[in-house]
Amino acid sequence: MRTHSATSLHHLSLSNVKPGQPIVIIGTGGSGRETLTLLHDIERNRPGTWDFRGFLGLDDPPADLLDRLDADFLGGPRTLVEHLPEASTWAYALGIGHPQHRREMDMSLTKQGLEPASLVHPSALIGPDVEIGAGAVICAHTVITTNVRIGASTQINIGCVIAHDARIGDYVTFAQSVNIAGNVTIKDNATIFTNASVIPGVHIGTNATIAAGAVVTKDVAAETTVAGVPAKPLP
């Protein structure tokens, strides 16, 4: 796992990124456009940190929405350096909600020489001994307390809380307002939807899905979707 600590960050995180580092966002859907908002908030807090060059995506973008954001669409990510050779020195942020799609884009872009940027909103409260994986995106009003490990390219949306000793794998997706109690383990590619809560000590397996509003009181097996209060596997 590619990681960094809260005080010694990945070389393309805010602590040591080169001023004006070019960056692109992968994904033009809601997640990607919200990532641009995060990038703008970072820029307001530390002007000149990033030089946003535009969006990349596999599908035709919502051109009217990008125009209203004054943002360019640069084409597909899989052939970026072929069309723009200078992009091999750029950074990228993954604004894609689906864990497996995020993983695929991560592999494609790193093969072309780009580096994943770890983006942490200025309002996020990050405690001591927190490791944040390369390419992670941590949105506004998130709280991560202490002795926590966040995996590579994990996406933590607005208003989430992650308590002590949590272990979060690679490419995990948290929707808004997820609450993770202490000593919880969440394995790679899991998805936790809006307002879900997980009680202390629970283990959530690889590729598991937690439905919106669920309260998880027992371990969740890999490849399983649970919903409800208390959460139970769906048929």
Alpha carbon distance 13, 142 (integer Å): 17
Q: 11, 98, 141, 164: which is the annotated catalytic residue?
A: 164
Alpha carbon distance 202, 220 (integer Å): 8
52's CB contacts (< 8 A; 6+ apart) are: 23, 24, 25, 36, 39, 71
Phi-psi region of 49 (alpha: psi -120 to 50; beta: other; left: phi over 0): alpha
Phi-psi region of 193 (alpha: psi -120 to 50; beta: other; left: phi over 0): beta
Residue 203: enclosing H or E segment and its boundaries? strand 203-204
Closest C-alpha to 93, from 126, 127, 53:
53
Alpha carbon distance 145, 43 (integer Å): 25
Annotated active-site residue 121? The verdict is no
Enumerate the active-site residues.
164
